[in-house]
C-alpha cells in the first residue's frame, strides 16, 4: 500500500488522476492532493474517501512513495526534485524534465525498460499528449523500419487545461446568442469557437511552435531513434477533448496492407479500426473518455508504396497524461 501525492489535483489532468487511481484499484494507503493556495482545504472524493487539498510547503512530500505532478513547468522544476529528495518517485506531466538526459521519458508500451527499480526513486517524465498517442501507433509499426514520420495534429481545447473548454463554450454561446464574439481571447491566440488556430505554444526562430518541437524531439527520445526524420504541424481545433492526428509514415521498404493490419491489430494500448464501411474510423468525440489509442483510415500513399497514412486519435487527458502516468507507476510498483 502506497502513500501518494497528486500535485495539481484540482486541474484538468489532476482531477482525472484522482479519479483513475480508484478505478484502477491503485494500492493507496494515504492520498494527498495538492494545488494552489486558493484551493487549500477543498475536499476531493477519490478511492472511496474524501481528501483535503493542501498547498505546497517545504518538506510536504515527506513520507510519500510517489508524487504525480500536473501543475505546469515552473511548479515541477521547483518541487519535483524536492519529492525526490524526500524519497518519493516524481512522475511529471510537465515539459520541465522531458528532454533532460538524466531522466527517463516513458510510454510503457514503447520504452518501459527505461524505468528504474522501485529502490531508486527519481523523476520520470510523462511525454507531451500528442507525442504519446503518436509513439504508441509508431511502435506497432517499428519492425517495418521507420524512415520518416510526418504528422498534422487537430488538438482539442482540453489540452490547454480547464480554461480551454471554458473559453470555447463561452465564445460559442456568445456567437449563437449575439451573432458575434466580442470577448477577448484569453487562453488561445485567436477566437477558438468556429475556428482553427495553427499555433500551440510559442514560436521559435525556425517557424515551428513549441508543441511541434515537443513532438519531434520527444518522439526521437522515447523511440531511441535520434536520427529519425520527424516533422509536425500542430493545430488547435474547437473539439472539447481528445486529439486527432493525420500521420504519414515512410518505411525502409514496401509494406503490404495485410502486414499493416496485422501489426496494428496486435499492438498493446492500441485499438485498430478497419475501414469496412465508408464511415468506419475513430473520431475525437467517440474516443474521448476511452483508454486506448485508436488508429483508422490506414491506407497506402498513391505516389510512394513505402509510405502509409493513418488517423490516430487518443484522449489527451487519459493516455495523453494521467493514464500514462498511472501506467508508469503500475510498472514500478506492480
Active site residues: 129, 243
Candidates 64-72, 144-152, 178-186, 304-312: pick the segment binding ligand NAP (CB under 6 A): 64-72
Distance CA 138, CA 10 (A): 33
187 makes contact with ligand NAP (CB under 6 A): no
Q: Is 246 exposed, middle or buried (0-12, 13-18, 19+ CB in 10 A)?
A: middle
Q: Which stretch binds ligand NAP (CB under 6 A): 67-75, 192-200, 221-229, 267-275?
A: 67-75
- Tell me which residue has its CB nearest to ligand NAP: 11
Radius of gyration over alpha carbons of the chain, in Å? 20
**Bridge pairing between strands 2-7 and 28-34:** parallel
Among 90, 320, 325, 327, binds ligand NAP (CB under 6 A): 320
- Closest approach of ligand NAP to the CB of residue 70, in Å: 4
Q: Which is nearer to ligand NAP, 38 or 257 (CB)?
A: 38
> DSSP characters for 112-140?
GGGPPPTTS--EEEPPPHHHHHHHHHHHH
Among 19, 22, 72, 199, binds ligand NAP (CB under 6 A): 72
- Residue 310's φ and ψ, nearest 5 degrees, are -155, 160
Among 38, 45, 173, 229, binds ligand NAP (CB under 6 A): 38
Q: What is the largest CA-CA distance in the chain?
A: 60
CA of residue 70 relative to chain centroid, distance? 11
Which span (186-194, 218-226, 265-273, 312-320) binds ligand NAP, by CB under 6 A? 312-320
Q: What is the dihedral of CA 81, 86, 91, 96, to 10 degrees?
A: -10
Q: Site mask, ligand NAP, residues 42-61, x = CB under 6 A?
A: --------------x-----
Q: What is the number of other CB atoms lying within 10 angstroms of the CB of residue 260?
A: 22
- Binding ligand NAP (rule: CB under 6 A), the pick from 86, 133, 158, 288 is 158
- Smallest gap from Cβ 124 to ligand NAP, in A, equals 14
Select the residue interacting with ligand NAP from 165, 316, 328, 329 (CB under 6 A).
316
Report in angstroms how near the CB of residue 278 gets to ligand NAP at its nearest: 31
DSSP 226-251: TT-EEEEEEEE-S-SS-EEEEEEEEE
Q: Do 274 and 280 form a contact (C-beta atoms < 8 A)? A: yes
5: contact with ligand NAP by CB under 6 A: no
Sign of CA dihedral 212, 217, 222, 226: positive
Q: Which of residues 264, 317, 328, 332 is near ligand NAP by CB under 6 A?
A: 317
**φ, ψ (nearest 5 deg) of residue 114:** -80, -10
Nearer CB in complex with ligand NAP: 60/193: 60
- The HSE-up count of residue 51 (CA atoms within 13 Å, CB side) is 24
Nearer to ligand NAP, 34 or 144 (CB): 34
* CB of 298 closer than 8 Å to CB of 261: yes
- Choose, by CB under 6 A, the member of 51, 65, 68, 71 that binds ligand NAP: 71
**Residue 83 binding ligand NAP, by CB under 6 A:** no
Q: Rule CB under 6 A: which residues touch ligand NAP?
A: 7-14, 34-36, 38-39, 56, 70-72, 75, 93-94, 129, 158-159, 161-162, 316-317, 320-321
Amino acid at each position: 500500500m502506497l502513500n501518494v501525492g497528486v500535485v495539481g489535483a484540482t486541474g484538468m489532468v489532476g482531477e482525472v488522476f484522482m479519479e483513475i487511481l480508484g478505478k484502477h484499484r491503485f494500492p493507496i494507503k494515504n492520498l494527498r492532493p495538492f494545488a494552489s493556495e486558493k484551493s487549500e482545504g477543498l475536499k476531493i472524493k477519490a478511492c472511496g474517501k474524501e481528501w483535503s487539498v493542501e498547498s505546497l510547503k517545504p518538506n510536504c512530500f515527506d513520507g510519500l512513495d510517489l508524487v504525480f505532478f500536473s501543475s505546469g513547468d515552473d511548479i515541477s522544476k521547483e518541487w519535483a526534485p524536492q519529492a525526490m529528495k524526500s524519497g518519493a518517485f516524481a512522475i511529471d506531466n510537465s515539459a520541465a524534465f522531458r528532454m533532460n538526459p538524466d531522466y527517463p521519458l516513458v510510454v510503457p508500451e514503447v520504452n518501459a525498460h527505461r524505468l528504474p527499480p522501485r529502490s531508486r526513486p527519481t523523476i520520470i517524465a510523462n511525454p507531451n499528449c500528442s507525442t504519446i498517442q503518436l509513439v504508441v501507433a509508431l511502435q506497432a509499426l517499428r519492425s517495418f523500419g521507420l524512415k520518416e514520420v510526418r504528422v498534422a495534429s487537430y488538438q482539442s481545447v482540453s489540452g490547454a487545461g480547464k480554461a480551454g473548454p471554458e473559453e470555447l463554450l463561452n465564445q460559442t454561446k456568445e456567437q449563437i446568442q449575439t451573432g458575434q464574439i466580442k470577448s477577448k481571447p484569453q487562453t488561445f491566440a485567436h477566437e477558438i469557437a468556429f475556428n482553427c488556430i495553427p499555433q500551440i505554444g510559442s514560436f521559435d526562430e525556425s517557424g515551428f511552435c513549441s508543441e511541434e518541437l515537443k513532438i519531434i524531439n520527444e518522439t526521437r527520445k522515447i523511440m531511441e531513434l535520434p536520427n529519425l526524420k520527424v516533422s509536425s504541424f500542430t493545430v488547435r481545433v474547437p473539439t472539447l477533448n481528445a486529439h486527432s492526428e493525420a500521420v504519414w509514415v515512410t518505411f525502409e521498404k514496401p509494406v503490404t496492407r495485410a502486414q499493416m493490419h496485422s501489426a496494428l491489430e496486435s499492438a498493446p494500448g492500441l485499438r485498430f479500426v478497419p475501414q469496412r464501411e465508408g464511415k468506419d474510423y475513430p473520431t475525437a468525440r467517440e474516443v474521448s473518455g476511452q483508454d486506448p489509442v485508436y488508429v483508422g483510415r490506414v491506407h497506402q500513399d498513391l505516389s510512394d508504396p513505402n509510405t502509409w497514412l493513418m488517423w490516430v486519435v487518443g484522449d489527451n487527458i487519459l493516455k495523453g497524461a494521467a493514464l500514462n502516468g498511472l501506467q508508469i507507476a503500475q510498472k514500478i510498483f506492480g
